[in-house]
Amino acid sequence: MRAARHQPHATGAEWLKPVTGCGNHTMREDIPWQGERAEARRGSEKNMDDAPASVRIDTMDRRIMAELQRDASQSLDEIARKVGSSKTPVWNRIRKLREAGIIGRQTVELDAAALGFDACFFVLIRTSEHDAEWQQDFLEALMKRPEVQEAHRLAGDVDYILKVRVPNARAYDTFYQALIADVKIHNVTALLSMEEIKATGDLPL
């Protein structure tokens, strides 16, 4: 990776909510996922204890979620066939997982390069101030910039890391100048990704 170092005004931060979620999938709106029939319990399926207290996740739930992660545009018939069940029990399980908040929003995954967003920068931010007002200003500055795909607060010498997707280096500089105009930052290091080797939002179910 190539690194570019910037040292604008001194300041800092200590807290930041995640900017983006991990969901990169979509569901077709025309799939007739209906049916209220209660599903039969599967005694052979092992209940998992790592789910939220309000819902228990078993092997079949994990198979269904794995299929949704792989391609959420599949029809209910396709998912049921692949997991070895039928439509109504699968639909009931998906509804249960949605209501529990385990399955969140579904979106489409777009090809960044095909749309002209060829440059991906990982931006390391070091801060020197930690007051609540600065933290709020920093959060708001990131939330209003669609170029920021991810933002994480870190342990160690670096306070934050951002994933920024832009068309080119000039567009990154425009983003950078706008960011430091809104928020004082002690030190910024920009790392340009030369090649994306792996990128996925899928959990290892």
- The CATH number that domain 25-30+39-108 falls under is 1.10.10.10
Under a CB-based contact definition with an 8 Å cutoff, are residues 179 and 141 in contact? yes
Token pair belonging to 86: 């039928």
Domain boundaries, the chain: 2-20+112-192, 25-30+39-108
Whether 75 has a pLDDT exceeding 90, the answer reads yes
In CATH terms, the fold of domain 2-20+112-192 is: Alpha-Beta Plaits (3.30.70)
pLDDT digits (tens, 9 = 90+) for 50-70: 545 568 999 999 999 999 999
Instruction: Please give the average per-residue pLDDT across 28-33, as a whole number.
Output: 39
CA distance 10 to 169: 24
The pLDDT confidence band at residue 179, using thresholds 50, 70 and 90, is: very high
Q: With a threshold of 0.95, does the pTM exceed it?
A: no
Give the residue with greater pLDDT, 142 vs 3.
142
pLDDT at 129: 83
pLDDT digits (tens, 9 = 90+) for 154-169: 999 999 999 999 999 9
The pLDDT confidence band at residue 120, using thresholds 50, 70 and 90, is: very high
Strands (DSSP E) along the chain, which ranges? 2-6, 47-48, 57-58, 119-126, 148-153, 160-166, 187-192
